[in-house]
Structure 1
């Protein structure tokens, strides 16, 4: 086994050769960065923090700050490769991130590049997950609920925030849980914090009852949730004209380095609106999930571990067929398990974060959302719009929407129609259609003859 640094620099050559870089200049940049990094490593006896700081101090004379940050990504991937192949015992950057209890390496590089790396690393340090006096109890409960088949992600976030608060306030460690919760409730003034505290109290009450069934059940307080619902912004319902404008923008989305991306965004937007798919469902679609013969797509293991098969209109299937053909011509993998929405530069599927960023950017370019900030229409409003516009089409066709709500709930992946009712936003057009249907069908029932009045 070859150890690093190796005098012949064969590890660097083999590593770069195995990356399959697309541009001719990329291997040159990679080789330059890695050779400089090895030059510094050969002058130091150990691969540690001091060596990383020394490399960063050499870099400013060669590269601008943004270029140096990009080179740190190259070094990160190379160190991960060395650790995987056994050429080094441990990636020192990952070790520093683990010591600080953070997941990303970029903050570590920023701290090392500062004027005082030790102080900057100390400021990065985060409390250990579930390290408070209640941490063991909460961690065991999370494990129990996940073993029972629940995802339990949101509740874990609530418990983790409360645990971090307790670690940062050691004076509360010996206090009763009620006192801890009282201080946690006063710690933030955000709009949703009282509602989150109420939900946290319910979870903690459940944990305590699991340990001691004789504890009486806690009576929930519905007021915080109602207050949040009262302040929550109303979904934006995109009109068919809005959707057409967004589709036109997506088809000609500027992407000179990834020619397939405009068609990918166009198809994502089409499925997000026509099938009401969530961004995570779009990102998880595989090539084999599209059935052109049956005219369906399969949405696997979504919210609450459900899988559903959705029929699509012929027009949507034609667009899907065009996209898969363009994807094949662009060199996309034909493995049925590969991502349907394939990223040319990464040779992998788009992540849900990338899907959200691209589609939101299309909404901004269409002039429906401000250029910056979180205000304005959301990506998830496409799902709301699909529901409202589908009900409008039922009204126009003379179909009773109430009788078809169970089918719509199944199509959206809901457990029952109660979840679907949240998506029904009463617009002026929808209210007019409902009133017209009542006038035609319900109003004659109110006409009472003279013999009845007598």
Structure 2
């Protein structure tokens, strides 16, 4: 590491501040004060290391409140990164500590250094490195294999990482048989979700080791943990057509004085979420080119399970899309085919994120009186997708159509691999049960009459 501070005449600070092009005089004065104060301590200390960072924090504690000090460490972070890029220093001490602790952000490091016992705080901050246990190499190879086969493998990889970290935090278990490791992992928590995760992990590990040694006997899976988890799942709320109309009315009058296009944007999002059964991520990824006004279709690209599908839409939905695209053009939105369909004036990407879409639609549900004003209870945005399935099946029953014949088409429309995934969305409501019973009675009653006549 650089033994002496590389900027004795402080020209680097001046050039760095000029490159930032700070508009506010107050901001320039703040940056200059922070960096010159940091250099004063660095020159007295001599070496840019952990002790020097602690010394600067101790000095600045007398000048600033704790929250202000932590906020201004970001100025030092960016300046140290600049010195490293320009090769003025050999190593950034904050980055070195962050990598040693195996964390992604620098702020926890600064908090630890500013504490009363920095060494203890840094020790508590350290996280095991990914796949560093005795089984780490085997698990990492399996994750790489599955991803090379085309799977995202994100949630499964996270489960394997959690087990690997548990093994690293319990080094005495690493010499035990795998069965003992899994028993201790299962005993770490008593929740139903953890039990299901342990069962899933046992299945994956058996698969991994059987792939390496086919002579290992197969293991019969236990479905009970997952069934207990499913029983705890929150039941979806099925919106009635009246509920949907109420939400659409609320969306049209959504208060947005700074963004006049937003009410129509939220309205169109709600229309596609219900009428086309789109997920929030699918709404966020729609581009302007994905809407074909001539053929009356939208293209949903590379969604869950790497699927792309083209969805035909009713004329009424296409009329709403035409009105939105016209208003979008009048608002000055980009007409680039690759620009986001749901555009807004601010932000780097100029498109709504999935999180923002969820927040907006949830707010509409609250304003419609269908969900409490606070909390996570009540109907969800994803329940629109469930409602689309149930209400579509109800319409088929009313039209005299057998839903069983249409389920494969509905599964394709929703982007599912098969109808088993679609069956999860079929919530039995009173209306649905009534129409199913009526259909069964119409088919079964004549058969019962024939049996009675034959018996007599």
Fold shared, TM-score > 0.5 on shorter chain: yes
Q: Do the aligned partners of residues 317 and 220 (structure 1) sit closer, same or farther apart at CA in structure 2, a change above 3 Å counting?
A: same
Q: TM-score, normalised by structure 1?
A: 0.84
Of 77-86 and 260-269, more deviation after overlay is shown by 77-86
Q: CA deviation at 1:73?
A: 6.4
Of 326-335 and 404-413, more deviation after overlay is shown by 326-335
- In structure 2, what is the Cα distance between the partners aligned to 1:124 and 1:223? 37
Please give the secondary structure, in 2, of the residue aligned with 1:447: helix
Cα contact 1:53–1:113 (8 A) shared by 2: no
1:222 corresponds in structure 2 to 223
- In structure 2, what is the Cα distance between the partners aligned to 1:183 and 1:70? 41
Q: Do the aligned partners of residues 371 and 107 (structure 1) sit closer, same or farther apart at CA in structure 2, a change above 3 Å counting?
A: farther
- In structure 2, what is the Cα distance between the partners aligned to 1:47 and 1:343? 45
- In structure 2, what is the Cα distance between the partners aligned to 1:324 and 1:75? 46
Cα contact 2:35–2:76 (8 A) shared by 1: no
- In structure 2, what is the Cα distance between the partners aligned to 1:72 and 1:332? 38
Equivalent runs, 1:146-157 vs 2, <5 Å: 146-157=147-158
Q: CA deviation at 1:168?
A: 1.0
1:38 corresponds in structure 2 to 35
Please give the secondary structure, in 2, of the residue aligned with 1:216: coil
Equivalent runs, 1:365-380 vs 2, <5 Å: 365-380=367-382
- In structure 2, what is the Cα distance between the partners aligned to 1:247 and 1:98? 50
Please give the secondary structure, in 2, of the residue aligned with 1:342: coil
2:429 corresponds in structure 1 to 427
2:288 corresponds in structure 1 to 287
- In structure 2, what is the Cα distance between the partners aligned to 1:435 and 1:8? 79
- In structure 1, what is the Cα distance between the partners aligned to 2:71 and 2:80? 15
Q: TM-score, normalised by structure 2?
A: 0.84
Equivalent runs, 1:176-325 vs 2, <5 Å: 176-325=177-326
Q: CA deviation at 1:109?
A: 4.7
- In structure 2, what is the Cα distance between the partners aligned to 1:436 and 1:267? 36
Q: Do the aligned partners of residues 266 and 58 (structure 1) sit closer, same or farther apart at CA in structure 2, a change above 3 Å counting?
A: farther
- In structure 1, what is the Cα distance between the partners aligned to 2:384 and 2:79? 41
Q: Do the aligned partners of residues 68 and 132 (structure 1) sit closer, same or farther apart at CA in structure 2, a change above 3 Å counting?
A: same
Q: CA deviation at 1:143?
A: 0.3
Q: 5+ residue gaps in structure 2?
A: 1-5
Deviations 1:258-285 (A, max 9, x none): 5544443333332222211122222222
Cα contact 1:40–1:51 (8 A) shared by 2: no
- In structure 2, what is the Cα distance between the partners aligned to 1:52 and 1:337? 49
- 1:405 to 2:407 alignment: yes
1:20 corresponds in structure 2 to none
- In structure 2, what is the Cα distance between the partners aligned to 1:258 and 1:48? 48
2:386 corresponds in structure 1 to 384
- In structure 1, what is the Cα distance between the partners aligned to 2:96 and 2:361? 36
1:443 corresponds in structure 2 to 445
Q: 5+ residue gaps in structure 1?
A: 18-25
- 1:165 to 2:160 alignment: no
Q: CA deviation at 1:384?
A: 0.8
Cα contact 1:16–1:30 (8 A) shared by 2: no
Cα contact 2:34–2:75 (8 A) shared by 1: no
Q: Do the aligned partners of residues 204 and 225 (structure 1) sit closer, same or farther apart at CA in structure 2, a change above 3 Å counting?
A: same
Of 50-59 and 353-362, more deviation after overlay is shown by 50-59
Cα contact 1:395–1:401 (8 A) shared by 2: yes
